Amino acid sequence: MKLLLVDAGNTAVKWTLTPVDRFEVGKVEVHPVEATEGWFPLLEKTVLKERPEEVLVSSVKPSLNELFKKLPAEVEVPGATQVARVMPTLYRTVETLGVDRLLNALGATCYADTFAVVSVGTAVVVDAVKNGIHQGGSIFLGPQKHLRCLHRSAEQLPQVGTEPLPPPGKTTAEALSSGVWWSLKYSVEGFLNLYRTLFGTKVAILTGGHSKTLLNLLKPEGYRLKHDPFLTFRGLYLYHLKTR
């Protein structure tokens, strides 16, 4: 038997199948999240073909939750309140906490009990977990949105790609690329150093669409860095194990 794991983020929706008795990512489908007319029929087709035991959805798009529940299978779209039962958090407003943050933290417990999670996508989220308890974190703009925001806000700033170029930039495009990526690098390293002081974190797990690029730039003192592009899927799988 298999589980169908779905990650509906702000930019993309992804899904994969894994065996029920072990976490093993198969082929990953990735589609723009807003194009529901394109990806939802494909997701339905996958459910009808594979007949998974259950569909588990991590969704930060509440507007899509009822759509997922129309899939021809047993579907669970847990919120942060539900996930907090197996991934405890000190967040004061759990109902406003993105469920992907808790699922990423839960998935990362396979690496350590005390650690930081760095998710690099539409937003950058740097969270801390101490002794298996989510402590909270910080959120700021991701690299692609950062560049787009600068382009839209200033007439003379061009739209550039997300390839990181080293400072100092010798053109405006180079200056934008180096400015965005190196500010991201130093911001994340600063938070990791702070969390090491506050919580004793020595492991950081990176995930998200731009995490591999950032991984190559980061050099936080006293840390072991790990890259797990399937951390949300891993968290969904662990949530399934712990709640069944």
**Residue 186 CB: number of other CB atoms within 10 A?**
12
pLDDT at position 24, please?
Answer: 96
Task: Specify the amino acid at residue 110.
Answer: C
Q: Tokens for 16?
A: 């994969």
- Mean pLDDT for the stretch of residues 226-240: 98
* φ/ψ (deg, to 5) at 33: -65, -30
Q: Please tell me the predicted confidence (pLDDT) of residue 201.
A: 98
Q: Which two tokens stand for residue 11?
A: 């930019």
Whether residues 185 and 199 fall in one domain: yes
Quote the pLDDT of residue 158. 80
226 CB neighbour count, 10 Å cutoff: 16
Domain housing 141 = 112-227
How much is the pLDDT for 10? 92
What pLDDT digit, counting tens, does each position of 14-43 carry?
A: 999 999 999 999 999 999 999 999 999 999
User: How many percent of the chain have pLDDT more than 90?
Assistant: 84
pLDDT of residue 132: 98
Q: Are 101 and 119 in contact (CB under 8 A)?
A: yes
Integer Cα distance of 196 and 194 in angstroms: 5
Residue 49 has pLDDT above 80, yes or no: yes
Identify whether residues 117 and 198 lie together within a single domain.
yes
Q: What is the pLDDT of residue 155?
A: 74
Chain segment 109-151, per-residue pLDDT in tens: 999 999 999 999 989 999 999 999 999 999 999 887 777 777 7
Q: Are 117 and 108 in contact (CB under 8 A)?
A: yes
Q: What is the pLDDT of residue 232?
A: 98
Evaluate if residue 192 carries a pLDDT over 80. yes
Q: How many residues does the chain have?
A: 244
Question: Residue 180 contacts by C-beta under 8 Å, 6 or more apart in sequence?
Answer: 143, 146, 147, 150
* Beta partners for residue 16, in sequence order: 5
- CA-CA distance, 16 to 2, in Å (whole number)? 10
222 and 233 fall within a common domain: no
Q: Are residues 100 and 128 in the same domain?
A: no
Question: What is the Cα–Cα distance from 191 to 201, expressed in whole angstroms?
Answer: 11
186 sits in which H/E element: helix 172-199
Domain total for the chain? Answer: 2
Residue 75 has pLDDT above 90, yes or no: yes
Average pLDDT over residues 67-79: 97
Confidence of residue 217 (pLDDT cuts 50, 70, 90): very high
Q: How far apart are CA 167 and CA 170, in angstroms?
A: 8
Give residue 159's pLDDT. 81
Q: What is the pLDDT of residue 184?
A: 95
Q: Alpha-carbon distance 224 to 203, whole Å?
A: 5
Same domain, yes or no, for 24 and 118?
no
Instruction: Clarify whether residues 117 and 190 are in a common domain.
Output: yes
Residues 102 and 116 in one domain: no
**Angle, CA 22 vertex, CA 66 and CA 226 arms, to 5°:** 90
pLDDT of residue 3: 98
> What is the average per-residue pLDDT within 162-191?
91
**Over 80: is that where the pLDDT of 161 sits?**
no
Nearest to 42 by CA among 18, 63, 14, 76: 14
Q: Quick one: 132 and 218 in the same domain?
A: yes
* Number of helical (H) and strand (E) elements in the chain, helices listed first: 8, 10
CATH (domain of 48): 3.30.420.40
